[in-house]
Amino acid sequence: MTKEQLTEIGQTLYGTQWQSDLARALNIDSRRVRQWINDERPLPDWLGGELKVLLTDNISQCQKCLLWLK
Which domain range does residue 55 map to?
3-68
Handedness of CA 9, 12, 14, 20 (dihedral sign): positive
Handedness of CA 10, 14, 19, 22 (dihedral sign): negative
Domain count, the chain: 1
Q: What are the pLDDT tens digits along the chain (70 aa)?
A: 999 999 999 999 999 999 999 999 999 999 999 999 999 999 999 999 999 999 999 999 999 999 999 8
Residue 11 burial (C-beta neighbours within 10 Å; 0-12, 13-18, 19+):
middle
